[in-house]
Structure 1
Amino acid sequence: MPQLEVDGAALMYDDEGPRDADVLPLVFIHGWTANRHRWDHQMTHFAERRRVIRLDLRGHGDSTGAGVRTIAELAEDVVALLDHLEVQRAVLVGHSMGGMIAQTITLDHPERVERLVLVDSISRMTYSRGRGMLMGASTLVPFKLFVATNIRRAFAPGFPREEVRAYIKSSEDTPREVVMTLYGAMRAFDVLDRVGEIGVPTLLIHGYHDIQLPVRQMLRMAKAYPDAEVRIIDAGHELPVEKPAELTTALDRFVTPVVAA
């Protein structure tokens, strides 16, 4: 498995599919406590005809490293990988926290992004005072309970329990420092006042039953984007695994016309 050493971390990644100078790569960025395999369905589909890149973020999956404090630091890890792979411009696809990372890259390095896809992601976390207090208090419970509660809430009612348990176990394997630090980083993330600067075509795909990052927050964000298309799917927060085929179809329609300038 290829890896890249970046600032004390070993980032594991996959780089598959045919190289075609006229077809821009897709770069998939997973969310909090997840790993690159959230994108297995999309990877299999798209790698048949175009270059597809995905990675395990620092401290997640097969990657090592900790100490990251902000979403911007994770974004720079992704940019370092693009530099290493000599990818000058790409289509970014980010799920949840991965969407926050993708927005940050687009704002800080606009020349690197051709199109942007945000899956169950937002530009600012907003909640009532009571909800904010509850979220803060949730960090005081035992670590495994904290993780299990958050992951269980991410799936829409009716998703197979045995699969939910497998995702909980995978998330629990993420180091506690990484989990808790990035939980705080997501709560602090706020680029809503800047997304009007993002001029590239953007697809916002959201699960109707998402209670982690409610669809109404995404719709508020969509109004601020100059060139945004919205797609709502009957799922929870974990669209890449709850409705992988529907997500892939939506992505395919959005990215197929994209070629290098």
Structure 2
Amino acid sequence: MKHGTTTQQLDLGTHSIAFVDEGCGFPVLCMHSLAGSLRMWDGAAAELVRQYRVLRCDARGHGASTGTMPYTVEGLARDALALLDAQGITRCAVLGISMGGQAAMHLALTAPHRVAALVLANTSAGALPDAKWRVAQTKARINEIGYERFASEYVASRLADGVASSAYAGYLRDTLALGAQRYVATLCSILAQDLTAELSRLQVPALLVSGTADVSTTPERMRALGALLPTSRTLELEGAGHFSCLDQPEIFNAGVVEFLAFNIEDS
């Protein structure tokens, strides 16, 4: 079956999830980072749709998805499973970046039979020693300069080229639309994660993508995540920041395509 590029809405009762389902072949689910939207995957989807069925969704409260707080990483994983069910997908590969990577790990831990392969970009297992400080610092900065200026700083700091990046304006629009309250609430859930004791039971093939210029999830933290995953390999992108799929799209996409071809050909 061929799927289209029109954004659809999945009604889950208390909220709805916006998604795009396009292409045909083995399904690949893409989950974006904090304050982003499914548009984050436009470049990757254009490449992947040549071989795969690509399903992209806006996280709860982000983009065109709706929902009231609390916003939790676990909730994002449940929403993704509901979307897979609604679209008749029993098994897929999952691409997750930052917050989306944590949600992808939750999904794989909750329903390991549904996940054939994982791509985890610029993310961690949680248990960060500076988590409380980062939340306090974020709240203080928003109070000091206002959310609009904070959003500009946040997006610029996560992209290797800052405000000069071609992705800056689009990501800033998504961040501004999220708003301060939802941003902080979601950040708190991200930083509260601790998957370190659970990941050793994941036997799914995993590709870990990091950026050498990532100030949020450093390559060292990505290597620590890899040590917890028994079947992982790494791809380190020179000069890429926290949004590696936007900073180094060609290399990112090529690495993902190669990994998926090798790991889901028999799925």
Preserved contact between residue 159 and residue 242 of structure 1 (Cα < 8 Å)? no
Question: What displacement does 1:196 show?
Answer: 0.6
- In the alignment, does 2:246 pair up with 1:241? yes
One-letter code aligned to 1:252: V
SS of equivalent to 1:54: strand
CA distance in 2, matches of 1:92, 1:50: 12
Question: What displacement does 1:129 show?
Answer: 8.3
Return the match for 2:16 from 4, 10, 17. Answer: 10
Return the match for 1:229 from 230, 233, 237. Answer: 233
Preserved contact between residue 92 and residue 113 of structure 1 (Cα < 8 Å)? yes
Look up the match of 2:114: 112
CA distance in 2, matches of 1:65, 1:15: 21
1:26-41 equivalences in 2 (<5 Å): 26-41=28-43
Preserved contact between residue 29 and residue 99 of structure 1 (Cα < 8 Å)? yes
SS of equivalent to 2:178: coil
Question: What displacement does 1:189 show?
Answer: 1.2
Q: TM-score, normalised by structure 2?
A: 0.89
One-letter code aligned to 1:4: L
CA RMSD of aligned residues (A): 2.0
Preserved contact between residue 68 and residue 74 of structure 1 (Cα < 8 Å)? no
Question: What displacement does 1:169 show?
Answer: 2.9
Q: Relative to structure 1, is the Cα distance of residues 128 and 185 closer, same or farther in structure 2, using a 3 angstrom cutoff? A: closer
CA distance in 2, matches of 1:100, 1:194: 12
Q: Relative to structure 1, is the Cα distance of residues 190 and 46 closer, same or farther in structure 2, using a 3 angstrom cutoff? A: same
One-letter code aligned to 1:17: G
SS of equivalent to 2:208: strand
Q: Relative to structure 1, is the Cα distance of residues 31 and 130 closer, same or farther in structure 2, using a 3 angstrom cutoff? A: closer
SS of equivalent to 1:82: helix
- In the alignment, does 2:151 pair up with 1:167? no
Return the match for 2:259 from 218, 234, 254. Answer: 254
Preserved contact between residue 98 and residue 124 of structure 2 (Cα < 8 Å)? yes
Aligned length: 257
Preserved contact between residue 15 and residue 65 of structure 2 (Cα < 8 Å)? yes
Look up the match of 1:70: 72
Return the match for 1:103 from 91, 105, 110. Answer: 105
Preserved contact between residue 158 and residue 216 of structure 2 (Cα < 8 Å)? yes
Return the match for 1:137 from 131, 137, 140. Answer: 140
Superimposed CA distance per residue, residues 72-102 of structure 1 (whole angstroms, 9 cap, x where no aligned partner): 0111001000000111111000011000000
Preserved contact between residue 100 and residue 123 of structure 1 (Cα < 8 Å)? yes
One-letter code aligned to 1:233: L
Q: Relative to structure 1, is the Cα distance of residues 83 and 54 closer, same or farther in structure 2, using a 3 angstrom cutoff? A: same
Superimposed CA distance per residue, residues 30-80 of structure 1 (whole angstroms, 9 cap, x where no aligned partner): 011000111111111111222111011111112222223321011100100
Q: Relative to structure 1, is the Cα distance of residues 162 and 39 closer, same or farther in structure 2, using a 3 angstrom cutoff? A: closer
SS of equivalent to 1:45: helix
Look up the match of 1:217: 221
CA distance in 2, matches of 1:100, 1:196: 15
CA distance in 2, matches of 1:198, 1:47: 27
1:125-204 equivalences in 2 (<5 Å): 125-128=127-130, 132=134, 134-135=137-138, 137-141=140-144, 142-157=146-161, 160=164, 163-204=167-208
Return the match for 1:207 from 193, 211, 223. Answer: 211
Look up the match of 1:56: 58
Look up the match of 1:82: 84
Q: TM-score, normalised by structure 1?
A: 0.91
What percentage of residue pairs aligned between the two structures are identical? 24
